[in-house]
Amino acid sequence: MTAPDLLERILARVDALRPVSGFPVVDEIRAEADRIAAAHPDRVTRTTIGASRLGEEIVDYAVGEGPSIVIVGGVHPNEPIGFHTALALLRDLAEERGPAAELGGRWHIVPCIDPDGARLNESWFADPGDRIGYARGFYRPAPVEQVEWSFPLDHRGIVFDDPMPETRALMGLMDETEPALIVGLHNGELGGVYYYATPDLVGAIDALHAIPAHLGLPLDRGEPEFAGSEPLAEAVFPELTSIDMIDALEEMGIDPTPHVVSGGTGDYGRLFGASAFVAELPYWSHPASDDTSGSGRSYREVLLRRAEELDELGAVLLRALERAEPHLAIDSPLRRGATAFAHMMAGSGDEARQRAAAPESDREATVAEAFSNEDHPRMFRLRFGTMLARTLRAEVVAGTAAPAVRLALADLETHLEAWYREADAHQETLEVLPIEKLVGVQLGTVLAAADAALALRAPGAPG
């Protein structure tokens, strides 16, 4: 359990974070981290651990002594809250201030592990409160091109052994440091705060609840991201690994091959016995996100509606892709991601439909469950409809678009503009959350998780 005096110092630290209005772009992240390292050469060791596919330098900034803690920002490049968190941690450690400097350990901070992907999102970093603006500039890599989900895997017939350079850089850092704790700096999109943690970090749970409460942010009490995941505590779920997801999907009678194609950081971290922690923070909240009262709606009907809307989305995306794909001339991360997610959406309603058929779904849905299931298809429409449209527009702008590509884009844009209008109509019900409070939750809970992980490695700790 996090000691009361440490929790008090963590709360004081997060209260001191200054207001911010947007997110730093890649060049700003690198310049600030380098400035901190240059100002404290006796404290900070700067090491290039690899390069991105386009040749961007990937840097580790190491501070302190003791068991290693690996902090990785930008693991999903559409999740930039962690850029602020990584820089705040580095600044505190370099300047020997606050609870970070008191905890001990050798901190390895990689502020941006996927600079190529981050650059494809930078158009909305200055104004992240506008959900439609966010959607119009959205990019997320295809699953096998996501740094945290492209580790080697060989489990139940699913084999992957072609990690990309960014993942190899992170693998090399983990091989060298054998971390006690690894933290991917993620964030969600809409709802409340929730976490993933290895069960050995149970001592941090009280702090994981106290820190967002102190900052006035709700916990997310809606559907878990991975269906059927049993929480360790309210809004605290077991670490997600590819191996565990494959096993769970097969137990549910669902073919895992369309859903899991490669290993994750957690799978690789288990080689070292590393603890793992993730704090998921939303950009926007809604009163329904943490409302556990009855919705008056059947949980089965809620799931079936979700499945129907996901099927409709998959059909729209696949129709546009199948019409355009034979004529696409530009290979890019955006195209590969849009293609992968279009195919993924085509079968994404099956899981909800299968759960709806289970006897335990014959109950009333909570308000939070109904809301999260309703917004899930909306989120995917905005994300993946936009990515495919951006892919097709790139062909038009480059002058390589065949008539079939232009027709596919025109049809898709009709749907996309309707999806934007629908999301815009809901936007007035959303609360745009202050970025410094989101950073505060992430920074504070990372400190609590690090304290718990280091306690497990302390001399005399139960083994």
Range(s) for CATH 3.40.630.10 in the chain?
A: 4-286+432-456
User: Is pLDDT larger for residue 259 or for residue 324?
Assistant: 324
Model pLDDT for residues 341-381, shown as the tens digit of each residue? 999 998 889 889 989 999 999 999 999 999 999 999 999 99
Backbone angles phi, psi at 279, to 5 degrees: -105, 125
pLDDT of residue 310: 97
Tokens 């997060």 correspond to what residue? 14
Is the model's pLDDT at 462 over the cut of 70? Answer: no
| Max intra-chain CA distance, the chain | 71
Lowest average pLDDT, out of 64-68, 243-247, 450-454, goes to 243-247
pLDDT of residue 463: 56
Q: What is the mean pLDDT of residues 106-126?
A: 98
Give exposure, 134-150, as e/b (b: 16+ Cβ within 10 Å). Answer: bbbbbbbbbbbbbbbbb
pLDDT category at 1 given cuts 50, 70, 90 is: confident
Fold of domain 4-286+432-456 = Aminopeptidase (3.40.630)
Residue 77 DSSP SS3: coil
Query: Whole-prediction pTM value?
Result: 0.95
- The mean pLDDT of the chain is 96
Q: What is the mean pLDDT of residues 130-150?
A: 96
Contact between residue 287 and residue 318 where contact means Cβ atoms under 8 Å apart: no
Alpha carbons 71 and 64: distance in angstroms, whole number: 14
Structure tokens that stand for 277 in this block: 């922690």
Alpha carbons 200 and 66: distance in angstroms, whole number: 19
Closest CA to 346 of 387, 379, 316, 304: 316
Q: In what order do the strands lie in the sheet with 181-185?
A: 45-51, 57-65, 105-110, 68-73, 181-185, 275-280, 194-197, 236-238
pLDDT of residue 459: 83
Secondary structure in 3-state letters for 27-70: HHHHHHHHHHHHHCCCCCEEEEEEECCCCCEEEEEEEEECCEEE
Is the model's pLDDT at 131 over the cut of 60? Answer: yes
Q: E strands within 138-247? A: 153-155, 158-160, 181-185, 194-197, 236-238
Closest CA to 276 of 195, 177, 207: 195
Lowest average pLDDT, out of 72-76, 217-221, 248-252, 424-428, goes to 248-252
